[in-house]
Chain A
Amino acid sequence: MTASDNGKPTLAMYWASSCGGCEISTLNIGENILVVDEVFDLAFFPCIADFKVKDVEGYPDGHIDVCLFNGAIRNSENEHMARLLRQKSKVLVAFGSCSYEGCIPALSNLTSRDATLRTVFLDNPSIDNPDRVLPQTLVAAPEGDLTLPSFYNTVKSLDQVVDVDYYLPGCPPEPHQIWAVLQVVVAALTAGGPLPAKGSVVGTGEVAVCEECPLEKHEKSVARFYRPYEVNPVPGLCLLEQGLMCLGPATVSGCGALCPQVGMGCRGCYGPLPGVLDQGARMVAAIGSAIDVSGKPGDNEEALAHKVEQAVATVADPAGTFYRFSLAHSLLVRARNQ
């Protein structure tokens, strides 16, 4: 079976550990959503249509032609759904930063599951939990057993759990990029057009965000970094030059450099440039080069090291900043718990 009963190819979109922004962005393709509706039959799309997991379980393998999977894998239910949708889908797309490389949920890889549960259920100032109750995977109630998915210590990307055909980055992916990718898919399904090679990152540019960014750039020599609330950026001038953290140099283009143009440094949500193993490492390299060391031969080496140390100390939360979106996919994956 290759399609739904009316002969149309089938489309699914599912959210695992995510915020729902990917669905909003998909619906933001505007009137083109009518084309999607014309071409595809929905097979599963919990955000906008009433399907049950039972329905998906009932499909034959490969019934779904294209599945857009967003959200990271942070508990056993996410992993179960990833495996189920992989089995039922011909093409599985890691849609958005969470399923591509972990995104914001994966920042909790810098801490531990225990610390996360403690913060959420016990230590948060807004929590009132006098009996210190924690969620359990199984509770026997008089009406029967109640279950919850188990919560992982390490948040994973989709491809760390199942085989993935394509990656579509962004937090969320920009609607014009989503539409561009959907057009390729529609052309392939309706007119036998070509599809990109398996494993491709689609819906991005090929250069760094800086090249798309219209702000004026000069050589960078930053003696200290500022957090966004500490300074008002000079309009029209590169934010990194002004000491505002911007991940443009280490992030692939495709978004149109939206954030820097409104005075907020690039957060890095489109992920690394092609061929880069680790986005955070590239950012360390870029920021390292931008720090001011006006040294000259014969300078005292300790004084030099101290000066660099002081500049580096003004970089707030380097791991969380450089890996804001890519920690699950990074070389180190997580912090040590010991």
Chain B
Amino acid sequence: MAEESTAQNGATEERFEPLIIGFTCNWCSYRAADLAGTSRVKYPPNVRLIRLMCSGRLDPSFVLKALAGGADGVLITGCHPGECHYLEQNYKALRRVTLLQHMLAQFGIERQRVKLVWASAAEGLRLANEITTMVEEVRALGPLNWKQVSREPAAVLAAGNGHETDMSMPAGAPVPIAAAGNGQGVRTAALEEVTA
């Protein structure tokens, strides 16, 4: 992971610009974004906002579809607890997003990539600051590139370890794993780190 982000964000490379999909609720957080705009508060242009009527409208599959389709992160914003236009639907969003974050960790998707932020219609500056923080966090994590993950990743695997993707080895007799030099120990350790 660390190696990959270094390679992606190396000094000679262009700076990685993460793509973040933002779901805002109509009543508070979209207006906060609006206020940030009319107040001329600056924040990075990496977030593409989609307005929902309420954060409780957010079906978790929206988040999965965004990530699977190429987004590097997803921001979900809603009214502060107790201030929902629909009484308590933002509580629903809180519970769903928390559960989703736990589940995504098992897919190797870092928690910082899916973020829930409360912002009232008066908090344009707060929302802009949260967006800036998230963009920097996701930039540090590097690209997600899920389309590459979900395709049959034989090529990805081949790049990461020394042995043939189809397990065929030229030797005529069974090859001890150490002698094959396929670096499985390293890969397994890395895997445990991700799934832990």
Q: Does B188 sit within 8 A of A, measured CB to CB?
A: yes
Known: A122-B177, A295-B81. A282 touches B61 (CB 8 A): yes
A153 touching B153, Cβ below 8 Å: yes
B152 touching A154, Cβ below 8 Å: yes
B191 touching A115, Cβ below 8 Å: yes
B96 touching A112, Cβ below 8 Å: no
For the complex formed, measure the closest distance between the CB of A64 and the CB atoms of chain B, giving whole angstroms: 27
Point out residues on B near A: beta carbons under 8 Å. 1, 4, 59-61, 63-65, 67-68, 80-83, 88, 91-92, 94-100, 102-103, 106-109, 118, 146, 149-150, 152-154, 156-157, 160-161, 165-169, 171-178, 180, 184, 187-188, 190-191, 194-195
Q: Does A183 sit within 8 A of B, measured CB to CB?
A: no
Q: In the complex the two chains form, what is the Cα distance from A112 to B131 in whole Å?
A: 34
CB neighbours (8 Å) of B180 from chain A are 134
Known: A281-B61, A305-B98, A308-B98. A338 touches B190 (CB 8 A): yes
A-B contact pairs, 25 of them (CB 8 A): A114-B191, A132-B177, A135-B167, A138-B169, A150-B166, A278-B64, A278-B65, A288-B60, A288-B92, A288-B95, A289-B92, A291-B99, A293-B95, A296-B82, A297-B81, A297-B82, A301-B118, A315-B99, A318-B103, A320-B106, A322-B103, A330-B64, A331-B67, A337-B194, A338-B160
Known: A112-B191, A334-B150, A335-B108. A136 touches B168 (CB 8 A): yes
Q: A interface, how many residues as a size bin?
A: 35 or more
CB neighbours (8 Å) of A313 from chain B are 102
CB neighbours (8 Å) of B195 from chain A are 110-111, 335
Q: In the complex the two chains form, what is the Cα distance from A309 to B95 in whole Å?
A: 8
B167 touching A134, Cβ below 8 Å: yes
Q: In the complex the two chains form, what is the Cα distance from A120 to B184 in whole Å?
A: 14
